[in-house]
Structure 1
């Protein structure tokens, strides 16, 4: 789903950046700060700056932040390679190998969150903690209206938008804008399901963050939380390792503007 557009004006220059050659493509990454690594996965049609600009500035004060751009997004080139969440999860592992990172926390927003779920299932040994922001691991996790919007998307909907401006500012081949949109829209219209049992069997702690009007199916969100944290807690004095936060008065776009609130949840959970 498309996403909030941060300016990235407060984002400092990364301490390093470049391309990791993985799975017949080149995945662009930026690294900020020092400390325990956290990998950030952006939403659909976004760049590092437009999704994470504000949060990187906070997280990098105490963490090593590795922000990636997924296939066809931002500086990562468009590819004729079939696009799937499983392949993108494999790309993440490849970048970790390239950067010599054994384990990391992973945070994903929207489309990046669905990829993060897939990564947790495919590579549990590489994951420490997982943060999912406004995302679902299956089609039914979105509200019916949201799924209808996915199927109705067309490339012309993105003409002269901040997303197109951000793409053109950094894309290695700006002529791939329409093919990139077509590939992403096709994927958005396909039903997907990482698997209820697979998600329930994730052993890493998970933080779920959502807005109360962000396009998710809240019944499925609660089911997800119960499957990972347990439906009941016999000792109310013991906090579960996995957590759920629903921000009031927030939609899918506005949610990512709540920088300090989201950072406070992430910092407490990951710490």
Structure 2
């Protein structure tokens, strides 16, 4: 465990296991790297795994800048250089998935393989009720949220627990910001595994559109699989957006993807 000085942040990370290519895990909003604890042993059994606390989350103190997947992606790319590896595998969930996606877009030579868990490439990929909840999220929730397990974790880990209202305010501002990365996703270079819950907060139509942008679901791959795309799609049964990152089935679909030989 330790800190890496990147882009004005002291970015906290922890390492487990051993291997040539690190697998970097990026957590969801209001969380920390600890959210991967249920699946970390399975992922680290035969590889080096690095969990990261993003800007203003967990043990990483906030900085004087808004929350943006684009800027957090620059932090992750800089951390990759500090890890002593030419390339990394990258898994991100929810907010961390947006950061992972932006890292692969902005630094395609850094990311060998990409795993996106419950991620949209366009804001309207979420169900309408989810968008309404995002729009209703605001600084007024900072005090009520102190009764939640999310706050308990933050207060225990944060270098400056009094930054809690800033975390809520910056998260609210981010949730209300529109985005559309359709064109960039269509040009995405690293092979990508899309993972969703079967009862996700993301519309099934958006999941299919995401898969097709990456070359999936467009044709029969043939008996020999010669026309199979490099990217893959997995649906985790019995899960929702809110617990899919802790599903024991997640390592079972991630590990074969990371270990598979590259397609020609």
TM-score normalised to the size of structure 1? 0.89
Within 2, Cα distance between the matches of 1:55 and 1:233? 33
1:77 aligns with 2:68: no
CA apart distance, 1:236: 4.4
Specify the alignment match of 1:68 in structure 2. 52
Partner secondary structure for residue 167 of structure 1: helix
Deviations 1:175-227 (A, max 9, x none): 1111111111111111122x212111112111111112220021011011011
Partner secondary structure for residue 179 of structure 2: coil
CA RMSD of superposed structures (Å): 1.4
Deviations 1:69-98 (A, max 9, x none): 000000000222232111000000111112
Specify the alignment match of 2:166 in structure 1. 179
Specify the alignment match of 2:195 in structure 1. 209
1:180-259 aligned at under 5 Å gives the runs: 180-193=167-180, 195-230=181-216, 231-238=218-225, 239-259=228-248
Specify the alignment match of 1:92 in structure 2. 76
1:107 aligns with 2:94: no
> How many residues of Structure 1 are paired with residues of Structure 2 in the alignment?
252
Within 1, Cα distance between the matches of 2:220 and 2:235? 19
CA apart distance, 1:268: 0.8
Within 2, Cα distance between the matches of 1:177 and 1:222? 37
Within 2, Cα distance between the matches of 1:248 and 1:123? 32
Within 2, Cα distance between the matches of 1:258 and 1:175? 32
Partner secondary structure for residue 124 of structure 1: coil
Runs of 4+ off more than 6 Å: none
Within 2, Cα distance between the matches of 1:149 and 1:236? 45
CA apart distance, 1:105: 0.6
Within 2, Cα distance between the matches of 1:24 and 1:75? 15
Is the Cα contact below 8 Å between 2:36 and 2:246 reproduced in 1? no
Specify the alignment match of 1:264 in structure 2. 252
1:162 aligns with 2:146: no
Within 1, Cα distance between the matches of 2:188 and 2:207? 16
TM-score normalised to the size of structure 2? 0.91
Is the Cα contact below 8 Å between 2:97 and 2:117 reproduced in 1? yes
Deviations 1:242-265 (A, max 9, x none): 111112332112323322x11110
Deviations 1:140-189 (A, max 9, x none): 22122111111111334522111101111111011111111111111111
Within 2, Cα distance between the matches of 1:157 and 1:134? 26
1:203–1:236 distance in 2 versus 1, CA, 3 Å: farther
